[in-house]
Every structure is written in C-alpha cells, then in structure tokens.
Amino acid sequence: MFLRAKKKIIFLVLIFGFVLFFLNYKFNIYNKIGFFALSPAYIISNWVTGLESFSSNLINIVNDNASLNKEIESLKKQNEELRLSYALLLKDVQSLYEEKAFQNFKAQNPKFKLLKALVLYRLEPFYQDLIINVGSNDGVKIGMPVISDGCIIGLISNVAPNYSKVSYIGDKSVKIPVKLNGSNLYGILEGTSSEELIFNVPSVFAAIHPLEILVTASVPSSLLPPNIPVAKIMTLREVGSLNTVFTAIPIKQIQTVNEVWVYLGS
C-alpha cells in the first residue's frame, strides 16, 4: 500500500515537473508572441506621451512668443519715442545753429535790415518753394532776397499781407546777377528746376575753377545785397562763341532750412 502511494507521489512529482518545464517553454513562446502583439501598443503609448510633451512645449513656445511680441512692441514704442526725442533735439540744435549764424551774419553786416521768418510750408516739386510767415504787412516785397546761414537761397516771388512765397534759386524762373568771388568776372546764375544751376559768363576765356564761390553782384536798381554767397562752381558745361556755361550747385540746401531772413535793404 505504502509502495503504491510512493509510486503515485513520484509519478505526480514527475508530472508536475514536466508541466512546469512545459509551461516554462510555453511561457517563453508567449513572451515572444506578446512582444510582437504588445509592441504597437507600446509605440502608440510612447507616441501619445511624446505628443503630450510636444503639445506642452508648443504651448510654452506660443506663450514665449506672445511675451516676446509684447517686448518687441514695447521696444518699438521706446524706439519711436527715442526717434521723436532725437528729432526734437536735432531741431533744437538746428535752431541754435541758425540763430548763431544769424547773429554772426548780422554782426558782419550791421547796416543790413533783416527780417526773421519761419518756414510754414514746402511746396512741390523738389521742395523748391517755401511759404514763410511774413508778408507785405512786415514790409516784404517781390524780388527781395531770402537768406539762410549767410547764403542766398531764393527770392520773394509772391506776397500776401501775412505770408510770402519764396522761389528757390534752383527754380527755372529765378535769375540772379552774380560774380566770381574776389574777381570782376560777372554773369547770370539761372535755375534749372533741379539742384544743378547754370552760370553764364560772356568771356570764352574765363579762368574759373571747380568749387570757386559765386556771390551776388551789385547791380543798379537791384534788391540784392552785394557779395553774399550763392553757389559753388562745379564743371564746365559748354563753350560757345559768345558765352561760356558752367554748372554750379547752391551752397545752402533748401531742404534743411527752417528759418530764413528776408533782406529788406540797408
């Protein structure tokens, strides 16, 4: 009886061992099968996790970008304020420079009657005409010269009681009698509706060099004061049988003018 029981126990142990071995073998196979079955789920899980991380990073980037845009707008505003301050500073510096130039010019020409005026408006084309805030009520007349920084920049071409129009020396309608500074070579300076001027002299043999200064000539019945700088010689343009033609440029550019002085006489 005991022997039979012992045989049964040994048989059961063998069966149990065989089952364990078989299950282990099966377990390994199932692991391999499970890897292939579960890998897509694992990949999808990682993708979802990565997507959540990407979404979180994207939200952070959007927030950072919004903050950066606010900072950029703030910097733009500060830049505009700085540009405005700089422009006002330049205007103040220009005003001080023009005031100093006016006082120097007045000291050099104590007999000149000068009327200070502000530029109200610049007319097209080429900003060649100015509207100033003085007129016939202040004694302004057509043909009177307008001076800035000690140089002729134009002539009064139209007058109203409280304002006047200034035609720039570059205007085609403007002709000014001039001479070469320090000589007796006289001629006519004419505008061309551009920054280039034409200087006509009667002598073919005129010895003129680039950058020499042209000043106003003293002509009877003229409203122009003598020896005021107007333009600089640039190049020889044409040699004719009667006249020699040179190009010139204004000494003072009208675009930078904010204040002028009208010459009323001496």
Domain coordinates in residue numbering, the chain: 1-108, 113-265
Domain covering 113-265 in this structure, CATH number: 2.40.10.340
Residue range 145-201, pLDDT digits in tens: 999 988 999 999 999 999 999 999 998 889 999 999 988 888 999 999 888 999 988
Q: How many CB atoms lie within 10 A of CB 163?
A: 19
DSSP letter (8 states) at residue 242: S
pLDDT: which is higher, 18 or 166: 166
What single DSSP character describes residue 185?
Answer: -
- CA end-to-end span of the chain: 157
Q: For residues 113 and 46, what is the distance between their CA atoms, to the nearest angstrom?
A: 91
* This model's pTM is above 0.75: no
Sign of the four-CA dihedral 173, 170, 128, 151: negative
Inform me whether the pLDDT recorded for 215 exceeds 90. yes
Provide the strand spans (E) within the chain. 113-123, 129-132, 145-148, 151-159, 164-168, 175-180, 186-190, 197-201, 213-216, 229-239, 244-250, 259-265
Q: Of the candidates 127, 109, 154, which has an alpha carbon nearest to the alpha carbon of residue 266?
A: 109
Nearest residue to 204 (alpha-carbon basis) of 236, 246, 242, 248 = 242
Q: For 37-95, write each residue's pLDDT tens digit.
A: 445 555 666 666 766 777 777 788 888 888 888 888 888 888 888 888 877 777 777 77
